[in-house]
Each structure stands twice: as structure tokens, then as C-alpha cells.
Structure 1
Amino acid sequence: MTAALANTLPGPYWSSDVDAAPACAALASALSCDLAIVGGGFTGLWSALKAKEQQPDAHIVLLEAGRCGQDASGRTGGFCAPSISHGVSNALARYPGEAETLIRLGRQNLAEYARDLDVHGIDAEFQLSGKLNVAATPWQVQGLEAMARNYERFGIDCELLSGSALSEKLDSPAYVAGLFEPNYALIHPAKTVKELRRVCIAKGVEIFEDTPVSGLSRDGTLIALQTPQARVKAAKVILATNAAVPLLNKLKLAFIPIYDYSLVTEPLSAEQWASIGWNGDYGIADSGNQFHYFRKTPDGRMLWAGYDAIYHYGSSRDAANLQRNESFERLASQFAATFPSLADVTFSNAWGGVIDTSARTTFFAGTAYGGQLAYAMGFTGQGVSASRFAALTMLDMLESRDTERTRLKMPRRWPVPFPPEPVRSLAVRMAQNGLAEEDLTGRRPALLKLLDALGIGFAS
């Protein structure tokens, strides 16, 4: 292991930066409720909070297999996008008929996300500080120019940067152009989970941790959820299980678990930040298919993450997948090449996280059990803000509401299923090889063009 990684701690920086709340008790005896929510990450907690807003007297129960936010939600980079469709370009490419609506609703969702935090006194360390997209190659520059044209079409503020204008935002030999968008936010993932959980409990949501749900069944007019301790009977159910093995068989081919990896540096000095020209609190992402995303932490460290997107054979979700030295070594090497003045910096934390990757690259939602159960998943790495929108969509579905959310085609469009093994691993590998080739040459291989025509993508 390189010297830069010699003393890293194996776990998310975010949880080490927050005092853990006392655990909620595990379910001890059978109960009945109006709404049972399975999963205590962003989607489940937003579902509980918004359900309580809509029906203050409802008996709402949230069941979490471990601790709230310990999985995908607590391992994200905290990029909070003004999008529910994996970006403007993706909306235009995959959902052209409703792209304008998707883009408007994405921006509205971010504004309402901020308002919800304020109304409920949720200290998520929310910063509407913007995002800088950077390009390393001529074809990536062309991509930024196309992005700017799309933004202009929909009235989204942005600024193309190069030369000294780029250096004032980020000074790195790796990048030759940038596009800055001010309407983009960052949150502290662990604090967001902790605060959402606190507010839900204060409003009367019963949260049971260390309570995995192993099965669903019909019990008269109710749905029974089986846990190791007891059964819960619910009039309605929300599945907010993200990348976990789904409880509905029909969902088992709808997404695959993909792992990406993160490093966080030791605190950087003002001189070190100045040496790379990063003078603001905006997040940054580069423009490759295999891309890095990076941001500052509240105590002056840099999170440097992404690039590798690893599928483990058989859709493995083993805990060992969260630590991958090969990916950490690659990230450390790429960090030193991107920021030569920081080549001697060491890293304090190294961890992996799982992404529920859909072939549509956007979340999908639907119902089962005659409309008494709703689910949303397949966020494909873009769930920090979209999880709130998905929560509202599921609640609309459970109440059979005719809303702009339920009329959208995007969430209701069934994702192309992933094939079974061993074809699944081969297909993922072929798609990733094609994406890597495009990064190197700027030419999109025939396989990816075919997938584009079929509305299939692979992203994170």
C-alpha cells in the first residue's frame, strides 16, 4: 500500500464526523400500523416525514435492518442535484417528450428540499454552493459546450470557463475547460440522516433498528412483514430498500448493485487549497464516463471519489466489497496526477458504497399488492435529492392521487431487466469496456450506440 494510504481508517468519513445517536430498539413484539416503511436511508426517512406531514395522526412504522443511513445514504458524496432525471442531458436523451417537465420538477424539488430542511430545523449542512463540471479532452470540452446549450434552452444559469477563468475555480493540469452551475447543493450525508431520523421520531414515527424484513405476505386486507422477532401488519407499505436484495421477486432483475469508492484527505492548509485554485465551497466532477467527483468537507479535507464502478459476480453484496485496495490505490494515484502540488497529501478515510444501478439510469417506482405497496429504487448514484421526490411519488401512488408526479412516464417506465449470470457479468464488462474506450478516443463504440437506441445505459 502506498504511503498516502498507510494510515487510512476503513469507513466513511461522514460517520466519524458526527456523534452517533442512540440506537432505536429492535422490534420486540407484533404490531399493526397504517403505514410500514422498509429501509431507513434517505428514501425511507423522507417517506416517513412526508407521510406524517400529510397524515399527522397516522401510525407509521419504519423498519431498518441495521442502523439508519449505514448503507448507501451514509456513504455517498453528498452531492444534492437539481435533477430527478440524472441530469438535463439524460432527460433530453431518454425522455424527450417530458424533458421540460422533468427538468422543471427537478429544480423545484431542490428548492423544496431546502425549504423542508428549514421548516423542520434540519441541520444537514446544506450549501447551495454550485458545481463545477470539468473536462480533460477535446471531446469532453464539446460535451460541456453541448451541456451549456441545453442549460441555456431551459433557462439554467451556467458559465463556460477556460484559461485563467478556469484556474480561478480550479487550477489543475488535468483539466482544460469547465462549466460552472450555481444552482447545485451539497449536504453532509450522516448529519442529514441523523436529523431526518430525529425529526421523524419527534413527529411520532416509530423506528425500529436492527430489524430486517425477510418476507411479505397477504394477511386478509393487510400486508404482513416478517422480521426475526415478530410480524408487522400494515394497511400500506413502502419499500425503500435501495440496493439491498428486493423483497419483491419482480424487482430482482430490475437493478444491480454497483460499488464505487471514496477517499478523504487529512485537513488541507489554506496554502494547499490556494495551490490548486479551489477558493469556494462548490462541488466538482469531471466529464468522463469513468468520472471523479470531489468536494470539500466542513473541516477542510477533500473527498476524492469515483472512477471505478465495480460489479461483483452474482450481484454480491458482501460486506468485503466495501473495502477494495485496488480501487483505493488507483484513486490515490489519480489524485496525485490531478493535483501535483498535493502529491504528498495523505488520506484519513477510505470506503466503498453500493449504488442501485438501473438500466434506465433513473429511479423507477410502482405498486404491488393491489396498490397497497409502493416501491422506488434504481437511483443510479443520483438519489440524494431524488429520494425526496421518489418518497412523494410513492405516497401519491398509495393514495391513488392524480398528480404531476404520478403522471410522469419516467418513474413508471419499467427498467430493462439485467440478464441472469453469467451473461450479466459479461454484459456489464462489455458496457464498461465500451465506456472506457470512449473516454480514451472520444468515439462511441457500436455496442453503446445500440444500447442508446434501445434506451439502455450504464452509469453511476
Structure 2
Amino acid sequence: MQQTVFERQRPAAKIVEDALRDTKLSCFWIDDVKPQTTRYPVLGGDLSAEYIVVGAGYAGLWTAIKLKEERPDARVVVLEARRVGWAASGRNGGFCEASITHGEANAEARWPDHTEQLRQAGHENLDAMERFITEHKLDVDWERTGQISVANEDHQTQWLGEDPNPGVVTLSASETQERIASPTFLGADFDAIGCAIVHPMKLALELARHARELGVEIYEESRVTKLDGKTDGPVTLHTHLGTVTAQRVALCTNVFPSLLKRYRWHTVPVYDYVLMTEPLTDEQLASIGWKGREGLADMANQFHYSRLTADNRILWGGYDAVYFAGAKIKSEYEDRIESHEKLARHFFTTFPQLAGVKFTHRWAGVIDTSTRFCAFFGQALGGRVQYVSGFTGLGVGATHFAADVVVDRLHGRITERTELPMVREVPLPFPPEPAASMGIQFTRWSLNQADHREGKRNPLLKTLDALGLGFDS
């Protein structure tokens, strides 16, 4: 097997040690907004409403906003187990991509007859988000920068030029270096319009603020523990603070166990690890260029993602995607120093000219991985309960599209969106433990092997590809 560039060109151990020495185990995005964070009340007892939304992340907040815009007279209530945006919505890299299918290749493999329709829907979705943010003056550090996907290995350069999106430009090594200077970059595909970057926690808080101004009621620290009801009656949600009844319910609980048992194994929790640097000096920033402030990713199976913040820090995340046996979600899983050290090594391999830069924050977030890598939709009680999950790390943009689908389905509308096979089909679940753990770990090993074998996929990965199953890094 061949070594990757990150193994061939390892930085000195002291550079990594010094960079991580004073790092805080905390999400930068959440820390960055703490002084301005608005608190919402705790549920005070029983209530009833026309619409209940469970979950105050992006999917839940977009859904609540769209329900209230359509029915201003209706009572719309959001119930959040902890705080607005505290989980995946506030912890991600802040990439808002046009794709609603986790990339064009995923759409082509699963829905070849609808690829162009899905591509167009994704770009329309991103444009609609930008219009909404601009029209309502949401303070979210939105930048429509586009994204660069770089090749770090010779075999990856053969994949350049395969992106079917219109307007994607293939860059030579020198052209790539002119945009972002790194000795590992051998070429790139640049998509100028298919991605924006955003401050994740600001987006969650601003959506909540706007929802409240519309009249949506938001209750924090109000965890729903059970859902029941009959096809022809109200839906009942149980919390430790009271019982809530509604005519229609949207479940937007992301990676957390579904209130509908039939979907419990349709997602598994996968931990993704992230670093954030201190703000770069003008000289440090000049050494890497990056004047276009594009989102950055690489083409490996185990890939990195990176971007600049408003104050010119560099976020650096990805590569390790860790599933812990038992499919549990625990705060202690966020403190995995071996993953953060690996990320730091890879950072300084990519940008050796930044030796001496310190990391201020390290954290992790839980991804709701599905077997098809993108969101799926479920329902219960004759359609009066709608469920969406499985965004697999690309939910910043796709949650807006999902909210449109959920609202259509709650109202029984047949639209172009609801008729998409992506919406109508439910993917296969993961197997229960211990088979889940064994299968996922073997798949992760296989993906790592492929990165060390010039991208060549072993029989397991080929079989999973053929079956439309997988596990994303």
C-alpha cells in the first residue's frame, strides 16, 4: 500500500504539540455567540396547538417558520430538549451546499432518471435561502463563496473534471496554488455558485428569532419522551413538564432516537471532529492567499473540509468519522485527542507555512448518518406526523428543502417535491448491534484502504455501492 501525503510529509511533533497545548474543548461557534444568546422559556404545563415541531435545529426552525408563514392564525409550537441550535446545527463547519443529495455522484447512483431535477432543486433551494437571509437581514455571516475540491494525490487528479454541475471549472496545480497556496494541492475543481459559508450558530439563533417574531412559540429544556395517537384523533406528545396535543406534528430530531420506533435504526450517530485556529495575522493570511474565501475540501474517501471565519480563523475538520459501539450519544465521545492530533498534523502538512499558529478550540459533533447518505422522510398516523432525518453531514442547506417537503406532506399536498423518489423512498436501516458496529468498522477500514490503494475499492465497498448502501467518512 502507498502512504498518503499526510504520512509522507508529517510535520514535526513539536509543531503539533505547541499548536494544541492551550486548546479549549468547546465549540467555537457556540462560544462566539454566548454574550448575545437568547433564552427561551421552559414548557410550563399542558398545551394544545395546530402544529407542534419537535427539535429546534435548522430543520425544525425552518419548518416552524414555513408553517407560520402559511398559516399566520395557527398556533405553532417548537419543543426543544436542550437549547436552540446546540447540537449539529450549531457545531458544523458552516458549509451550505446546493446539493440536497450529498453530492451529484450520490444522486446519479441512486436516482439516475432524476439527477437533473434534483440538481436544479438543490440550486433553487440555495438561492431561496440566500433570498430569505437577505430579505430578512439575518446576521449570519453569509458569504456565497463557492467551493474548491482539491486533489492531494496523483490518482485523485484523474477525477478532476467529472463534476456535472454547470459552471464548475477545473484548475491546474498552479491555478489552484494561486487561489490557496499549499504544497499538497495538485489541482482542483472550483464550483463558484454551489456553496455558501455561514456562521452555524448565528444561523440557528437568527432563525429562532425570526420564528418568534412571526409568533412561533419556542420552548427549550422541554424534551419529548413519547408520541402516541390514533389515525383519526389528535397527536399526543409527552414531556416531563406536561402533555402537548396537536393536529399535526413535525419530528426534526436529527441524530437522536426517533419517536417513531420504526425508524430507530435508519440512522446511526457518527462523530466528526473539528479544530479552529486563532485569527491569522495579515502576514499569515497572505502566505496562503485564499482571497476568494472559498469553502475547501479534498477528494479522498476520508476527506477534510476547511474554511475561513469572519475574523480570519481557519476551521479544519473531517477525516475521522467515528462510530462508537452501541449507537450511543455521549459528551465524552467529543474529547478524542487522537482525532484532534491527527487533524492538527494534517493541517500543518497542508499549510506548513503556518507553523506556529495555535488552535483555540477543538470539538466534535454527531452526524445522523443514513445508508443512502442524504435525508429521508417518514410518516405516521395517516400523515399527520412527519419525520425527516439522515442528512449525513450536509444538512445546512438540505434542511431548508426538507422543511418545504415536510410542510407539503403535513397538508397532504402532492407537489413536484413530494413526488421525487428521494422523498417517497425510505432507505434500508442499519442492522442492529453487534452487526452494526462490525459492519461500520469494516467499512471504515475499507475506505481507509482505498485511500492507500489509489482509490481502488475492495469487494465490500463495491458490493455496498451496488446495493445502494454505505457509510460516509
- TM-score norm. by structure 2 comes to 0.94
**Counterpart check, 1:212 vs 2:223:** yes
**Separation in structure 2 between the aligned mates of residue 202 and residue 97 of structure 1, nearest angstrom:** 42
**Separation in structure 1 between the aligned mates of residue 97 and residue 48 of structure 2, nearest angstrom:** 37
Q: How does 1:15-26 map to 2 (within 5 A)?
A: 15-18=30-33, 19-26=35-42
Query: Of 15, 26, 37, which residue of structure 2 is paired with 1:11?
Result: 26
Asked whether the 8 Å contact 1:263–1:328 carries over to 2, the reply is: yes
Q: How does 1:381-400 map to 2 (within 5 A)?
A: 381-400=393-412
**Separation in structure 1 between the aligned mates of residue 36 and residue 418 of structure 2, nearest angstrom:** 37
Query: Of 424, 428, 453, which residue of structure 1 is paired with 2:440?
Result: 428
Instruction: Report the residue type matching 2:266 in the other structure.
Output: A
Asked whether the 8 Å contact 1:264–1:349 carries over to 2, the reply is: yes
Asked whether the 8 Å contact 2:173–2:185 carries over to 1, the reply is: no
How far the C-alpha of 1:307 sits from its partner, in A, is 0.4
Asked whether the 8 Å contact 1:337–1:343 carries over to 2, the reply is: no
**Counterpart check, 1:457 vs 2:473:** no
How far the C-alpha of 1:36 sits from its partner, in A, is 0.3
SS in 2 for 1:309: strand
**Counterpart check, 1:56 vs 2:78:** no
Cα deviation code 1:164-208 (max 9, x no counterpart)? 211111111122011111111111101101110001001110100
Aligned residue in 2 for 1:313: 325
Query: Of 190, 197, 205, which residue of structure 2 is paired with 1:180?
Result: 190
How far the C-alpha of 1:366 sits from its partner, in A, is 2.1
Aligned residue in 1 for 2:168: 158
How far the C-alpha of 1:97 sits from its partner, in A, is 1.3
**Separation in structure 1 between the aligned mates of residue 114 and residue 73 of structure 2, nearest angstrom:** 36
Aligned residue in 1 for 2:3: none
Asked whether the 8 Å contact 1:358–1:379 carries over to 2, the reply is: yes
SS in 2 for 1:396: helix
Aligned residue in 2 for 1:84: 100
How far the C-alpha of 1:314 sits from its partner, in A, is 0.4
Aligned residue in 2 for 1:447: 460
Aligned residue in 2 for 1:139: 155
How far the C-alpha of 1:457 sits from its partner, in A, is 2.1
Cα deviation code 1:282-340 (max 9, x no counterpart)? 11001111000000011110000000000011001011112211111111111111111
Instruction: Report the residue type matching 2:432 in the other structure.
Output: P
Aligned residue in 2 for 1:196: 207
Instruction: Report the residue type matching 1:10 in the other structure.
Output: L
Asked whether the 8 Å contact 1:366–1:394 carries over to 2, the reply is: no
**Separation in structure 2 between the aligned mates of residue 97 and residue 15 of structure 1, nearest angstrom:** 41
Residue ranges of structure 1 left out of the alignment (5+ in a row): none
How far the C-alpha of 1:403 sits from its partner, in A, is 0.5
**Separation in structure 2 between the aligned mates of residue 38 and residue 86 of structure 1, nearest angstrom:** 24
Aligned residue in 2 for 1:226: 238
Asked whether the 8 Å contact 2:376–2:388 carries over to 1, the reply is: yes
Cα deviation code 1:250-291 (max 9, x no counterpart)? 111101000001100011112112212322211100111100
How far the C-alpha of 1:119 sits from its partner, in A, is 2.4
Query: Of 111, 119, 128, which residue of structure 2 is paired with 1:103?
Result: 119
How far the C-alpha of 1:163 sits from its partner, in A, is 2.9
How far the C-alpha of 1:146 sits from its partner, in A, is 1.7
Instruction: Report the residue type matching 2:155 in the other structure.
Output: W
How far the C-alpha of 1:96 sits from its partner, in A, is 0.4
**Separation in structure 2 between the aligned mates of residue 412 and residue 428 of structure 1, nearest angstrom:** 26
Instruction: Report the residue type matching 1:253 in the other structure.
Output: W
Residue ranges of structure 2 left out of the alignment (5+ in a row): 1-15
**Counterpart check, 1:127 vs 2:143:** yes
How far the C-alpha of 1:424 sits from its partner, in A, is 0.7
SS in 2 for 1:392: helix
How far the C-alpha of 1:212 sits from its partner, in A, is 0.4
Asked whether the 8 Å contact 2:175–2:187 carries over to 1, the reply is: no
Asked whether the 8 Å contact 1:335–1:343 carries over to 2, the reply is: no
Aligned residue in 1 for 2:428: 416
How far the C-alpha of 1:67 sits from its partner, in A, is 0.4
SS in 1 for 2:393: coil
**Counterpart check, 1:75 vs 2:76:** no
Asked whether the 8 Å contact 1:36–1:60 carries over to 2, the reply is: yes
**Counterpart check, 1:171 vs 2:175:** no
Instruction: Report the residue type matching 1:234 in the other structure.
Output: A
Cα deviation code 1:363-411 (max 9, x no counterpart)? 0012111111001100000100000100110111111111111000012
How far the C-alpha of 1:348 sits from its partner, in A, is 0.4
Identity of aligned residues (%): 44
Asked whether the 8 Å contact 2:125–2:397 carries over to 1, the reply is: yes
Q: Which moved more, 1:137-146 or 1:262-271?
A: 137-146
How far the C-alpha of 1:144 sits from its partner, in A, is 2.2
- TM-score norm. by structure 1 comes to 0.97
How far the C-alpha of 1:11 sits from its partner, in A, is 1.2
Aligned residue in 1 for 2:254: 242
Instruction: Report the residue type matching 2:425 in the other structure.
Output: R
Asked whether the 8 Å contact 2:161–2:169 carries over to 1, the reply is: no
Instruction: Report the residue type matching 1:143 in the other structure.
Output: W
**Separation in structure 1 between the aligned mates of residue 380 and residue 359 of structure 2, nearest angstrom:** 45
For this pair of structures, how many residues does the alignment match?
A: 454
